[in-house]
Amino acid sequence: MVHLSTIPTNDEVEKLANGVKKVHLQLANDDDSFTTSVYGSKFAAQDLPRHEMPEGEMPKEVAYRMIKDELSLDGNPILNLASFVTTYMEEEAEKLMAESFSKNFIDYEEYPQSADIQNRCVSMIGRLFSAPVGPGETIGAVGTSCVGSSEAIMLAVLAMKKRWKNKRMAEGKPCDRPNIVMSSAVQVCWEKATRYFEIEEKLVYCTEDRYVVDPEETVNLVDENTIGIALILGTTYTGEYEDVKAVNDLLTKKGLNTPIHVDAASGGFVAPFVVPDLEWDFRLDNVVSINVSGHKYGLVYPGVGWVVWRSAEYLPQELVFNINYLGADQASFTLNFSKGASQVIGQYYQLIRLGKKGYRAIMSNLTRTADYLSDSLEALGFIIMSKKSGEGLPLVAFRLPPDEDRKYDEFALAHALRVRGWVVPAYTMAPHTNQMKMLRVVVREDFTKNRCDALINDIKSSQKLLQEMDRDSIKKQQDFIHKHHTAGGKATHNHPKYRVRSCAAASSPPRV
């Protein structure tokens, strides 16, 4: 019978050991030159180099396959509902971008068409944001491409600070204590900008029932040292649009000419097509600059961003560098220098391939899907924190209703979904909201209704599983998943000095 086994004698054990030794002696040990398959080569039986460049070389086919196998352990981008970043582009767009990998975008003399394509994108995006156009040095909008909205925001903050400083110096007033007014729910790059450029943050805090700035409170924080107000068209936490018009009108009413920068990283390619009558852009007199991410709802792979100023007067001349050592005179206002042309070309492809009609169709579908998901989660008993029907980004922010008897929280649900392949982030809301826990699903172009239904079913199944477990089991499961299924739990590369030391510190939302 196959389920019964005899216990071998010592002689039989010795015979088995000798047999294994003979097998090992017969293993190939040639210094092969890769004439067999990838997995028959010596490289397949060795560790990939990790810390030091190897002395020898390996065939290109082997290098490609070994790295591809490593990358297969990454998550599926399509199931990553934490990120705003584009995960789908048409094959023709990918081909165009791949053909431009070798182009250094900054070399205008060598690649004039790539530079001209950037200028076309700036013009199209500026007009999309109702930018004033016209001849003259101080009339007409000006803009540039960036490496994502982070660089765009850094440039906008530098321009606001320098313009404020110049004005203060001309008036003979001190200019050593600049501040900027913004929401406590800003993207982390705003915190970087204020820290790197030594600007004080004057925060408008969210509350348990308000997740955006209060216009009156915002304007009241303005003083003579305020370089500008940052307002968000689509917050990271709930996707809600801050009321730019209300802040603009209050400034006008109080006779203040404080500049407004609109962080439209996510909403800049959504609002113009879904709610075109919403006034948030250059139609408002105090809005002097706007940034937008091409790699979010601009539908381009990362990373490309754009920043546009109302006119050249809002971009001080001394921040712009004129150089000619690449063979042609050119004006440069960037934090970096060399960068590839691929993403800019990808943006141009999307703008002319889709047109306003195509963007409108895509953003309308995303809004419908987000509303459907929101209604479905509400029917399951969740509290919806995001806006519907185009009043915010196509995302759904939600949380569990208060229940002292429930054994699991939002983090446990997120971990349970992770086992099923979904990356649905759980985190705590912005400061001053009583550590409110929440989850968020970003609806991107490739998140179809069919996939949305699959997510809803998995949420229901995960809840059912968690309801049947006791608190200790849930805690053990969370610890196991965090340690073995998440990159953060397995991370060892961070220098000890900079590692996050508490769960609370690690619970902020993924701001990408």
Please give the model's pTM, rounded to 2 decimal places.
0.85
What pLDDT sits at residue 46?
Answer: 86
Q: What angle do CA 184, 187, 191 make, to 5 degrees?
A: 70
User: pLDDT over 90 for what percent of the chain?
Assistant: 61
Is the distance from CB of 251 to CB of 286 less than 8 angstroms? yes
Q: What tokens does 477 get?
A: 């499961």
> pLDDT by residue (tens digit) across 172-181?
999 999 999 9
CA atoms within 13 A on the CB side of 443: 33
Between these two residues, 275 and 48, which has the higher pLDDT value? Answer: 275
Rounded CA-CA distance 387/504 in Å is 26
Q: Which amino acid is at 112?
A: P
Rounded CA-CA distance 145/121 in Å is 9
Burial class (CB in 10 A: 0-12, 13-18, 19+), 474: buried
Preceding omega of 172 cis (within 30 degrees of 0): no
> pLDDT by residue (tens digit) across 250-259?
999 999 999 9
Query: 342-379 and 91-98 helices cross at what angle (nearest 10)?
Result: 140
- Provide the 10 A C-beta neighbour count for residue 56: 4
Is the distance from CB of 441 to CB of 376 less than 8 angstroms? no
Is the distance from CB of 291 to CB of 263 less than 8 angstroms? yes
Q: What is the CA radius of gyration of the chain?
A: 28
Rounded CA-CA distance 316/508 in Å is 35
Give mean pLDDT, residues 151-165: 96
Rounded CA-CA distance 139/436 in Å is 47
